[in-house]
């Protein structure tokens, strides 16, 4: 069995689920646009520039979850999926996932975005396994905090190693391991797999991929 890892935002998705979740909440009247929009934009720019403070960002992004019951949030996410996410899901991305599943590969979506937002998206692509930044829960409700190590930059390596160890294996046990990503933030993990693939990549990752002769593909329509 081989291992196929997929980044989510701007890789399998033609857009960013985290960034758009905030915009969606603003559109639903659940966040104040004036106070929230500018910070959301700055965090997104920091991410693209490779200088995102993931702890501060997750505090910002997860705080709205603590203001509502999980049952309400789950219903809200159904609307988010139909209105925002489904249009971002591409046939090319689904075909890629299907190819790996048909080959019998162990498929995992691994993303810095919190698992509340991303788990239903991974499921919609038919990927059972998700490694995301996990929101803290107490008594079945979100606290606004983070549980464990955020799966961002080197944290993705940490979280993947933890997940594989729980399954009684490690990355070296797979003869072939793939990681598809658009972002230079994922270079720590991309450099560890046998088959890194740059997908609609940012400028830094594109340059790195060309230097190291990594495959470059597009999953856009």
Among residues 7, 16, 18, 182, which one is catalytic? 7
32 assigned to active site: no
Distances (CA, A) of 125 to 3, 95, 119, 150, 164: 17, 10, 10, 22, 21
9 assigned to active site: yes
Q: Which residues of 125-152 are buried (b: 16+ CB within 10 A; e: fewer)?
A: bebeebbbbbbbeeeeebebbbeebbbb
What distance in Å separates the CA atoms of residue 23 and residue 70, rounded to the nearest whole number? 19
Q: 111: helix, coil or strand?
A: strand
Kindly calculate the radius of gyration of the chain based on its CA atoms and give it in whole angstroms: 17
What distance in Å separates the CA atoms of residue 164 and residue 155, rounded to the nearest whole number? 14
Q: Are 120 and 114 in contact (CB under 8 A)?
A: no
Tokens, residue 215: 């495959």
Give a three-class secondary structure readout of 196-207. Answer: EEEECCCHHHHH
Q: What is the largest CA-CA distance in the chain?
A: 51
Active site residues: 7, 9
């Amino acid at each position: 069995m081989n291992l196929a890892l997929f980044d989510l935002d701007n890789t399998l998705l033609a857009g960013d689920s985290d960034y758009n979740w905030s915009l969606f909440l603003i559109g639903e009247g659940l966040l104040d646009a004036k106070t929230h929009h500018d910070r959301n934009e700055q965090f997104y720019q920091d991410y693209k520039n490779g200088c995102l403070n993931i702890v501060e960002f997750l505090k910002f992004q997860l705080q709205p979850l603590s203001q509502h019951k999980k049952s309400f949030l789950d219903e809200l996410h159904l609307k988010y999926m139909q209105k925002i996410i489904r249009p971002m899901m591409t046939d090319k991305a689904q075909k890629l996932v299907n190819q790996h599943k048909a080959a019998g590969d162990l498929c995992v979506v691994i993303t810095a975005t919190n698992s509340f937002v991303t788990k239903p998206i991974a499921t919609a692509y038919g990927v059972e396994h998700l490694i995301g930044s996990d929101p803290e829960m107490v008594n079945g409700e979100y606290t606004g905090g983070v549980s464990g190590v955020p799966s961002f930059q080197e944290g993705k390596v940490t979280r993947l190693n933890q997940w594989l160890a729980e399954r009684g294996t490690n990355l070296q046990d797979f003869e072939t391991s793939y990681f598809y990503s658009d972002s230079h933030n994922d270079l720590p993990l991309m450099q560890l797999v046998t088959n890194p693939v740059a997908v609609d990549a940012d400028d830094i990752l594109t340059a790195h991929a060309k230097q190291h002769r990594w495959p470059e593909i597009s999953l856009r329509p």
